[in-house]
Copies of this chain bind each other. A is one copy, B any other.
């Protein structure tokens, strides 16, 4: 279905986005969004002012940062933001002063269990400053005075997000969401917005789109809350299936996080695709959720949003550290996710409830659809077709039937089209 070179193109695109310092607001987010827009010009950029009330939340101040570092007692520059933007705790307030090592320790974050990793830390809703450092380096710090410099600005501004709407034959929508608020990390998160953008591009080129498609690229949590507060009525009316794209870049496994309702159309499709693509995939409990399904699936919102992932956040060692880089994410990892979502989209597009138009089995032989010689072996050849037909009683969707007969839906697309052309299957 898909040229495998998308994997390489996506990986290359991740490389370009990687160094930018993003947060839930600010110019890094805007710059990244504009790079996505170059791929999909349909992308519209929205700005929402700090302080805007969104359900129980308010849009926070906008944060921007120019530089940050620590000068050690000997004047060496450490925790240099320009070396890795993970060195600064996200949303750190500006600071420029001399502190003792003891004072400094209160503002340092490191991971004793992963001594060579810089952890990823943020403090969006309490004003703080902090530096993240490998535990290895932290252990070498000597007594003395340290000059801490964070050249950041935290002030009223905007929260930025992107939205792509691609209309189809009907107004019912398939919804995709991904987030772009993390600095230099690859599987969580660049893989998400990059695969989402490439999917939007593919969808925009699809002939005969039945559903309309909506893709949003937001900051995590506050972004989905903001987006929902402005669009909930429309989403509740139109979204028939939705997906939150995150951690879709490595090549180690496939995982699935269901929606809160656990068996929506999205869930059914995701499980169907994964069962046939990678039967050993892991299905996680919704209790292990941690991304925007927390908002999309919240009571009263109740959107059918689930996630097909590769290695799930919190379940791979590099998660939320500087080790989650573009060696973790691979072209084939990205390609696998992209293909799985394309399959999922096709299944939703093609899914319908069919009914066989004749009583008893149709005589497929006279239509050239059935072998004319009955032998020990011929039955198996037409098994999927006969099995599919036998469940077309107007009560099960094509997808449900494929699950019942244990056949990948896409292998039946052509057969179903033939049977519909023959008038043997009709829409129920």
Q: Are B294 and A359 in contact (CB under 8 A)?
A: no
Q: Are A57 and B387 in contact (CB under 8 A)?
A: no
- When A355-B299, A359-B298, A360-B55 are in contact, do A122 and B390 touch as well, CB less than 8 Å? no
Residues of B contacting A219 with CB < 8 Å?
A: none
Q: Are B360 and A225 in contact (CB under 8 A)?
A: yes
Give the interface centre of A124, A314, A359 by most chain B CB atoms within 10 Å: A359
In the complex, A394 has a CB within 8 A of chain B: yes
Closest to A392 in B: B299
Q: Are A390 and B126 in contact (CB under 8 A)?
A: no
The complex places the Cα of A356 from the Cα of B146 at a distance, in Å, of: 48
Per a CB cutoff under 8 Å, which of B290, B356, B366, B391 touches A125? Answer: B366
In the complex, A295 has a CB within 8 A of chain B: yes
Per a CB cutoff under 8 Å, which of B57, B359, B387 touches A301? Answer: B359
Q: Are A55 and B126 in contact (CB under 8 A)?
A: no
Interface majority SS on A: helix, strand, loop or mixed? loop
Closest to A356 in B: B299
Per a CB cutoff under 8 Å, which of B295, B375, B390 touches A260? Answer: B390
Residues of B contacting A363 with CB < 8 Å?
A: 56-57, 125
Closest to A89 in B: B373
Within residues 100 to 141 of chain A, which ones have a CB less than 8 A from any CB in chain B?
109, 111, 119, 121-126, 128
The complex places the Cα of A191 from the Cα of B1 at a distance, in Å, of: 50
**Chain A 268-302, CB within 8 Å of chain B: the 1/0 string?**
00000000000000000001001000110111111
Q: Are B119 and A294 in contact (CB under 8 A)?
A: no
In the complex, A385 has a CB within 8 A of chain B: no
The complex places the Cα of A126 from the Cα of B368 at a distance, in Å, of: 11
The complex places the Cα of A126 from the Cα of B366 at a distance, in Å, of: 9
Q: Are A375 and B225 in contact (CB under 8 A)?
A: no
Q: Are B122 and A374 in contact (CB under 8 A)?
A: yes
The 5 closest A-B CB pairs, nearest first, are A299-B393, A126-B372, A56-B358, A295-B360, A56-B362
Q: Are B300 and A359 in contact (CB under 8 A)?
A: yes
Q: Are B55 and A374 in contact (CB under 8 A)?
A: no
- When A119-B375, A287-B405 are in contact, do A390 and B356 touch as well, CB less than 8 Å? no
Q: Are A361 and B294 in contact (CB under 8 A)?
A: yes
In the complex, A95 has a CB within 8 A of chain B: no
**Chain A 352-383, CB within 8 Å of chain B: the 1/0 string?**
00011011111101100000111110010001
Q: Are A365 and B125 in contact (CB under 8 A)?
A: yes
In the complex, A342 has a CB within 8 A of chain B: no
Q: Are B55 and A359 in contact (CB under 8 A)?
A: yes
**Chain A 311-349, CB within 8 Å of chain B: the 1/0 string?**
000100001100000000000000000000000000000
In the complex, A203 has a CB within 8 A of chain B: no
Closest to A367 in B: B56
Q: Jot down 26 A-B pairs with beta carbons below 8 A, ordered by A.
A: A55-B358, A56-B359, A56-B360, A56-B362, A109-B375, A111-B376, A119-B375, A121-B373, A122-B374, A123-B372, A124-B374, A125-B365, A221-B361, A225-B360, A260-B391, A287-B387, A287-B406, A290-B379, A294-B361, A295-B360, A298-B361, A298-B390, A299-B392, A300-B393, A301-B359, A302-B393
